[in-house]
Amino acid sequence: MIYHVLALGDVTSEEGVRHLAKHLRGVKKLKNISFTVINGENIAGVGLTPEQAEDLFCAGADVITLGNHTWGRQQIASMLEDNSYLLRPANFTGRAPGRGWGVYDCGTVRIGVMNLIGRCDLDFNAENPFTTADRLLKGDKPTFTLVDFHAEATSEKLAMAYYLDGRVSALWGTHTHVPTADERIFPKGTGYITDLGMTGPVESVLGIRPEQSIEKFLGGMPGRYRPAEGACKAQGAVFGLDDQTGLCVAVVRIDIR
């Protein structure tokens, strides 16, 4: 049987959450989606609050992943400890609250989700994501294993995909907020895309008001970034996964408007 997993890119504002609340459940029904993973680390601009996380779950997320803005709203720390469906990068230091790996029972299948952060141009004193993945994959093997690799460099994401090819069902990149057109299935069966894109206002610079971003590049003082307004999009990919092999048979980009 083929299971369909939906992965959506970084939600950049509460406007993005409201867009998902309006459209996501209908899309999931239309696309026969069994499981949904959404990166939510930018809902508050930098980070997210527990209330925003709950809103995203209510909109249709099964698991929320984070990234370099995990601690942008430090009140999320207690929720990271208490809610196993909210993940921060697994290769943060062992002193960080929360977890970066979860396995979830979904009827006849078990789905593992791993959240990692890259180290190329992201200086968070993180442990090696490659060896962290090795360590986490040594345990009991779920039916499907999904990886959100929150990283800046396309080379690091591609290298990770080759490294984990055949050992995980699907791996996607987040962080850059711009969708890539390289969705594919790797030689040993891992589904892949370098970046899912973002969920938030269409007329924006990565979710931020264009005039603020322009002012910064002109050398001015843009002030505290404010999310853009207006019509939204939700970008990501649907992965078709075979429950007999645990591997990917199809990857299709999605853009919900």
CB of 79 closer than 8 Å to CB of 97: no
Which residue among the candidates 4, 19, 23, 69 is catalytic per the annotation?
69
Token representation of residue 64: 């929320």
Q: Does residue 69 have an active-site annotation?
A: yes
Token representation of residue 94: 């062992």
β pairing state of 170-174 and 191-193: parallel
Q: 69: which strand partners?
A: none
At residue 20's C-alpha, the angle toward residues 27 and 31, to 5°, is 15
Kindly provide the b/e burial profile for residues 33-60, where b requires at least 16 CB atoms within 10 angstroms of the residue's own CB: bbbbbbbbbbbbbebbbbebbebbbebb
Separation of alpha carbons 5 and 39, rounded Å: 14
The backbone torsions φ and ψ at residue 98, rounded to the nearest 5 degrees and listed phi first, read: 90, -165
Closest by alpha carbon to 15, among 196, 202, 237, 244? 202
Question: Which residues are known to be catalytic?
Answer: 69
